[in-house]
Amino acid sequence: MTRAAVLGAGSWGTAFAKVLGDAGTDVTIWARRERVAAHIREYGVNNEYLPSTRLPERVTATSDPAEALKGADFVILSVPSQSLRGNLADWAPHIGPDATLVSLMKGIELGTTKRMSQVIVETAGVPADRVAVVSGPNLAPEIAAEQPAATVVACTDLDRATAVQNAITTRYFRPYTNTDVIGCELGGAVKNVIALAYGIATAMRLGDNIKAALITRGLAETTRLGVALGADPMTFAGLAGMGDLVGTCTSPLSRNRTFGEHLGRGETLEQAQASTRQTAEGVKSCLAIRDLARAHGVEMPITEQVERVCHEGVDPRVALTDLMSRDTKSE
Ligand SMILES: NC(=O)C1=CN([C@@H]2O[C@H](COP(=O)(O)OP(=O)(O)OC[C@H]3O[C@@H](n4cnc5c(N)ncnc54)[C@H](O)[C@@H]3O)[C@@H](O)[C@H]2O)C=CC1
Ligand SMILES: O=C(CO)COP(=O)(O)O
């Protein structure tokens, strides 16, 4: 019997545990707070993040990471990106020697500008070919409700990607494999920043033309950064690129887009933050992505402006004027 540990009991960790359970894997979720774990054990429900989803019998929970990780073939990492390094340092001694580590996270680490798989390799001391990434248009509430979705499992070791694919294939969840880890991770992280911009534009009632332009030019700057870092440009035309970008920007369920709407209504960063307990990864990652782009000499004008609005208190109207008045160029 295959076993998985899901570390992080937020929306996506919990929905992903359900997918694994429905596909026939025994799952133990690690929750930071014992009362969340106890509620899952007793009622089969994560009442804090997905209160209307009943988890399969095969899914249980604990607040003890060693218990969650015992005998796990798949170690699923689903905490906020900026807390991964600290958490994983504690968890690493309990991870089995051949376990596959699977990142669900869509962020870039502040300060180091590292992708999550790089943080995992460094912190857990595992080779890169034991780390897989799952990324695509995967809004957790829809998947928890068994609405159909597709995703990408990326790993440089195709056999491991296929093993993860098999462990998460259900009648409502369809994973594709890919070996481009860099492209899949960048697609997932940068789309959160573009979704912030899309949310800002939505709240400012700027119209559908500019929203389509943000998606298209957002994908262009994501691809530019990806290519500079060694990604396959075709990845950005796939589910982990365009798919996730369109899904996130256009869905009112997206925390990043919703956060952007708060900013677009004129709220400060602090006011927008006070409106949600959930993770809008783009808010912090826009800083790291901007730094990464600058370090590689890549222009990311939308990301630059999102960073200014989020962290430098720039009025979104000023950011828009700056974007529209850049030097003209070829597409
Ligand atoms: N929710 C979604 O629809 C999707 C989310 N993701 C990504 O999955 C990752 C996890 O997101 P969600 O589950 O949605 O987040 P969430 O905001 O729903 O939950 C985060 C979880 O991490 C815990 N947590 C918060 N700070 C922590 C810390 N310092 N140490 C340990 N645990 C901590 C929280 O208690 C909570 O259980 C993010 O990178 C997100 O971008 C990816 C695809 C879909
Ligand atoms: O990554 C996601 C969908 O693929 C979820 O997006 P949000 O974090 O903006 O809710």
Domains of the chain by residue range:
3-179, 182-324
- Segment 130-189, tens digit of pLDDT: 999 999 999 999 999 999 999 999 999 999 999 999 999 999 999 999 999 999 999 999
Q: How far is the CA of 61 from the centre of ligand 1 (A)?
A: 16
What pLDDT, on a 0 to 100 scale, did the predictor assign at position 1? 86
Q: How far is the CA of 243 from the centre of ligand 2 (A)?
A: 12
Q: How far is the CA of 107 from the centre of ligand 2 (A)?
A: 11
pTM above 0.80, yes or no: yes
- Return the CATH architecture of domain 182-324: Orthogonal Bundle (1.10)
Tell me the C-alpha to C-alpha distance, in Å, between residue 59 and each of 104, 107, 173, 203, 271.
Answer: 18, 27, 17, 39, 36
The residue type found at 179 is T
Which ranges of the chain have pLDDT less than 70? none
Residue 180 DSSP class: -
DSSP helix/strand/coil, 109: coil
Query: What's the whole-number average pLDDT of the chain?
Result: 97
Helix (H) or strand (E) holding 60: strand 59-62
Query: Which residues 6+ apart lie within 8 Å of 127 measured at CB?
Result: 121
Name the residue of 191, 196, 254, 276 whose CB sits within 8 Å of the most ligand 2 atoms, as the mutation to test its pocket: 254
Catalytic positions, written as ranges:
191
Query: Which residues 6+ apart lie within 8 Å of 96 measured at CB?
Result: 69, 71, 72, 73
Question: Does residue 87 line the site of ligand 1, with CB under 6 A?
Answer: yes
Q: Per-residue DSSP letters for 274-297?
A: HT-SS--THHHHHHHHHHHHHHTT
What pLDDT, on a 0 to 100 scale, did the predictor assign at position 276? 84
Task: Note the residue count of the chain.
Answer: 331
Question: Does residue 11 line the site of ligand 1, with CB under 6 A?
Answer: yes
CATH 3.40.50.720 given to domain 3-179: yes
- Can you state the angle between helices 181-203 and 282-295, rounded to 10 degrees? 120
Q: How far is the CA of 185 from the centre of ligand 2 (A)?
A: 13
- Nearest ligand 2 atom to the CA of 195 is 9
Report CA 285 to chain centroid distance, whole Å. Answer: 11
Residues lining ligand 2, judged by CB closer than 6 Å?
106, 137-139, 192, 195, 244, 247-248, 254-256
Give the closest ligand to the alpha carbon of residue 188: 2
Side-chain half-sphere exposure of 150, counting CA atoms within 13 A: 8
The b/e string for 13-40 (b: 16+ C-beta within 10 A; e otherwise) is bbbbbbbbbbbebbbbbbbeeeebbebb
What pLDDT, on a 0 to 100 scale, did the predictor assign at position 278? 84
Q: How far is the CA of 10 from the centre of ligand 2 (A)?
A: 12
Encoded tokens for 238: 């796939």
The span from the CA of 3 to the CA of 20, in Å, is: 9
What pLDDT, on a 0 to 100 scale, did the predictor assign at position 134? 99
Encoded tokens for 331: 């597409």
What pLDDT, on a 0 to 100 scale, did the predictor assign at position 145? 98
Long-range contacts at 142-145 (CB < 8 A, ≥ 24 apart): 142/253, 143/15, 143/16, 143/18, 143/19, 143/172, 143/173, 144/11, 144/14, 144/15, 144/18, 144/50, 144/53, 145/53
Q: Whose CA is nearest to atom 39 of ligand 1?
A: 105
The span from the CA of 274 to the CA of 271, in Å, is: 5
Query: Which residues 6+ apart lie within 8 Å of 93 measured at CB?
Result: none
DSSP helix/strand/coil, 196: helix
Question: Does residue 281 line the site of ligand 1, with CB under 6 A?
Answer: yes
Cβ-contact 240, 226 below 8 angstroms: no
Q: Which residues are annotated as a binding site?
A: 8-13, 32-33, 49, 106, 136, 140, 191, 244, 254-256, 281
Is this complex scored with an ipTM above 0.90?
A: yes
Question: Does residue 140 line the site of ligand 1, with CB under 6 A?
Answer: yes
Name the residue of 106, 196, 285 whose CB sits within 8 Å of the most ligand 2 atoms, as the mutation to test its pocket: 106
Q: Which of 186, 181, 140, 183 lies closest to 160 in space, CA to CA?
A: 181
The span from the CA of 5 to the CA of 171, in Å, is: 22
What pLDDT, on a 0 to 100 scale, did the predictor assign at position 277? 83
* Equal fold, 3-179 vs 182-324: no
Name the residue of 7, 50, 62, 79 whose CB sits within 8 Å of the most ligand 1 atoms, as the mutation to test its pocket: 79
